[in-house]
Amino acid sequence: MNEESVSVGQDYKCIDDCAVLSIENLSGDVYCMRLAGRHIAHQCSPGQFVNLKVTQQYIPFLRKPFSVCRRDKEAGWFEILWKIVGTGTAAMARAKPGDTFNVIGPLGRGYREPQNMTTAILVGGGLGIAPLLFLCEELRRNGVHVEVFFGARSASDLAMVDVFQEMDVTVTITTEDGSAGTRGVITEALIERLNTGFDIERVHLFSCGPTRFLQSMIHITETFGIEGQIAIETMMACGFGICVGCPVRAREPKPGEKQYKLTCIEGPVFGAREVVLDG
């Protein structure tokens, strides 16, 4: 294993050739890959990501960012989850155990665990479930009560539901076509849950998913007056702050403060009131 890591302050990223340990087609076009990487497995926290070089050729040209979905410190592996959307993700799905991918990570700022929190509500839209799985494992280990809400278009977009169910957490599922769970959208199920009551000081909402979904999450945290964090996805080149290509608009920056935050180093997890999502 070729690990070139030097830590600078909290900057624990390394560049590493990671061997594929296993690859699994979870459902439809959704895949999960387990990669060997002791450094990343040890240093990553929930919500952080890795930037993976898909091919030695030049199409796709850039690395592709993936949230760490699970890790095992002892065994020295981490997992990523993806759906085939283009040539790069299709090429990844053809990988075999023993193949290697060059990976930079762990990158970005992950979820913060608030003090006093006793109930964590995790809300995932589509593949937004990936970092929430890692988060769920950590929160359960710390004795936090966790409720999971998971929305997808249809049953074929669902992944890892069984893993959550094994973790002693309540799992609510909705699909738009009704092929799994309740027919509908997850925001409705979440609102229904919040209407049953909660301790505003001790509940915290963690979410990850597409932009529209996260806009709803921001809205819900405001409506119910609860604290929350969102993990966003943007176009990204380097993943560690040098290309400056992944800005997200800061919400109400004070005079002298920056108008944009960089998703790769200041995110991808932001406070629900920290940024404005356009589009």
Partner 1 sequence: MVDLSTKLGRLSLKNPVLVASGTFGYGRESEPLVDLNALGALITKSVSLEPRDGNPPPRIFELPAGMLNSIGLANVGVEAFVREKLPFLRTLDTTVVVNIAGRTADEYLAVVRRLEEEQGIDGYELNFSCPNVKKGGLEFSQDPRLTASVTQAVRDATERPLIIKLTPNVTRVSDVAQATAESGADAVSLINTLLGFAVDVKTRRPRIHTGTAGYSGLAIKPVALAKVLEVVQHVDIPVIGIGGIMGVNDALEFLITGACAIQVGTANFIDPCTGQKIVQGLIDYCAANRIGAVSELIGSLKMWS
Q: Is 76 among the residues that bind partner 1 (CB under 8 A)? A: no
Residue 60: asked if its preceding bond is cis (omega within 30°), the reply is yes
Q: Under the criterion CB under 8 A, does residue 238 sit at the interface with partner 1? A: yes
Q: Which of 8, 74, 196, 255 binds partner 1 (CB under 8 A)?
A: 8
Interface residue with partner 1, options 3, 22, 59, 114 (CB under 8 A): 59
Residue with tokens 């790769």: 264
Q: Does 40 bind partner 1 (CB under 8 A)?
A: no
| Identity of the residue, 13 or 204, whose beta carbon is nearer to partner 1 in the bound complex | 13
- Token pair for 260: 């944009």
**Interface with partner 1 includes 245 (CB under 8 A)?**
yes
Edge-to-edge strands, sheet with 203-208? 182-183, 170-175, 145-152, 119-125, 203-208, 227-231, 269-271
First to last CA, the chain: 42
115 binds partner 1 (CB under 8 A): no
Chain Cα centroid distance, residue 162: 18
Identified binder of partner 1 from the candidate list 96, 115, 141, 235, rule CB under 8 A: 235
* CB of 9 vs partner 1, minimal distance in Å: 10
Q: Please provide residue 246's backbone torsions phi and psi, each rounded to the nearest 5 degrees.
A: -120, 50
Strand-pair partners of 32: 24, 81
Residue placing its CB nearer to partner 1 in the complex, 55 or 156: 55
Among 72, 162, 258, 276, binds partner 1 (CB under 8 A): 258
